[in-house]
């Protein structure tokens, strides 16, 4: 009886694993690698979006020089929808160059996320590792 219960529990856990991974979203507040911008991720439409809630004076000045003023309140991550467990895709707005690119967010663990944006069809890509702060 004990083996049967353990097998059933393991089967239930494995069956639930994809649903857990797919529902995992980068909700909360995240900081960029330089810790110069904090972004709050929340549900929006069928996916998630990330909006700047705090920025350093230098980040604000860099964004303002390219026409983004104010930086706080700007949505940097737009319409991100799940692609596979732990992977989301959408658009990334880069305020210090004033352009929007296609991008992905990959959750590495509960406190680490890698964001990647590409200029065109997977070319000219850059990535950043973000850390959850709340």
pLDDT in tens, 86-107: 999 999 998 888 888 899 999 9
Q: Is there a contact between 59 and 37 (Cβ–Cβ < 8 Å)? A: yes
**What are the start-end ranges of the H helices in the chain?**
2-23, 57-65
- Tell me which of 89 and 25 has the higher pLDDT: 89
Out of 6-20, 41-55, 115-129, the most confident range is 41-55
Q: Is there a contact between 37 and 51 (Cβ–Cβ < 8 Å)? A: no
pLDDT band, residue 20 (cuts 50/70/90): very low
Q: How far is CA 49 from CA 13, 15, 28, in A?
A: 30, 29, 11
- Tell me which of 16 and 76 has the higher pLDDT: 76
Q: Is there a contact between 98 and 68 (Cβ–Cβ < 8 Å)? A: yes
pLDDT band, residue 6 (cuts 50/70/90): very low
- pTM above the 0.75 mark? yes
């Amino acid at each position: 009886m004990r083996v049967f219960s353990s097998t059933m529990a393991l089967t239930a856990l494995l069956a639930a694993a994809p649903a857990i991974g797919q529902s995992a979203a980068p909700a909360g507040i995240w900081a960029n690698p330089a810790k110069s911008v904090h972004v709050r991720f929340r549900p929006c439409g069928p996916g998630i979006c990330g909006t700047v809630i705090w920025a350093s004076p230098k980040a604000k000045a860099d964004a303002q020089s390219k026409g983004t003023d104010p930086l706080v309140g700007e949505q940097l991550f737009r319409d991100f929808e799940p692609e596979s467990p732990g992977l989301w895709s959408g658009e990334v707005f880069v305020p210090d160059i004033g352009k929007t690119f296609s991008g992905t967010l990959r959750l590495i663990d509960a406190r680490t996320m890698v964001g990647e944006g590409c200029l065109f069809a997977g070319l000219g890509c850059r990535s950043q590792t973000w850390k959850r702060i709340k």
